[in-house]
Structure formats: structure tokens, C-alpha cells
Amino acid sequence: MIENLNKAFENRIRLGLMSILMVNDWVEFNKVKELLNATDGNIASHVNALESLNYIDVKKEFVGKKPKTTYRVTKLGKKAFKDHLDALEQLLKEL
């Protein structure tokens, strides 16, 4: 059963980021930071990891002179996260 858990989601920040994106459309960096109570650098490194797995889309744009970064979960990411949740649930049932 343990092998069904996705290693990509073992970290607290990644788990949190995926949770946010599962129930929201595009979400801003600042919102993520506020909800997860994490530092900029910490979030950025986990974002990169999830992006390289194609679990999330990252959009960078400028609003006036301010840069704005937003995230969205991909279809692949949604499926991977759902499978991870199912595995977690299964594990808890068995223990």
C-alpha cells in the first residue's frame, strides 16, 4: 500500500499547494504564501519540482509594473493528487 503513495507529495508545502490548487482555479503566489505560511524561496523550489513533473502550470505576467505569478493544477496533477489521497485513505483504513 505504501508504494501507492506519491513521493512528490510528501513535503508539507507541496501537499498544501496541491490542496489549494485542487479547489481553486488560477491562484496567486501571495495567496499561496499566506495560506501556507512559508517563505518565498521555499515555495519557489517546491513549485519548480511540481512544475517539472507537469503537475502544475505556472503563469508569469506583469500587472502594471508589478510581476504577478499564478498557478494552476494540470490534468495530470489532479489525477496524481487524487491517487495519492486514495492511497492515504486506504492506508488509514487498514491500520
Partner 1 sequence: MDVNRHYFENLNEIRSIMEKSSRFISLSGMSGVMAGIYALAGAYAVYWYNHMHTIEYAIQSLPDFFSSVSFYRFYLVIGFTVLFLSILTGIFLTVKRAKRKHQTVWDQVALRMIINLSIPLLAGAGFVVVLLHHNYFELIAPTLLVFYGLGLVNGSKYTLNDIRLLGILEIITGLLCGISSISGLYFMAFGFGVLHIVYGLYMWLKYEHNEPIIE
Q: Kindly list the residues in this chain that would bind partner 1 in the complex (CB under 8 A).
A: 12, 15-16, 19-20, 22-28, 30-31, 34-36, 85, 88-89, 91-92, 95
Q: How far is the CB of 45 from partner 1 (least distance, A)?
A: 19
Cα distances from 32 to residues 15, 70, 73, in angstroms, run 12, 9, 13
Task: Specify the amino acid at residue 13.
Answer: I
Contact 56, 47 (CB under 8 A): yes
Closest to partner 1 by CB, 49 or 85: 85
**Cα–Cα nearest to 4, from 75, 95, 87:** 87
Q: How far is the CB of 74 from partner 1 (least distance, A)?
A: 18
Please enumerate in sequence order all residues whose Cβ is within 8 A of that of 66, keeping only pairs 6 or more positions apart, or say none. Answer: none
Closest to partner 1 by CB, 26 or 76: 26
Q: How far is the CB of 44 from partner 1 (least distance, A)?
A: 19
Closest to partner 1 by CB, 48 or 90: 90
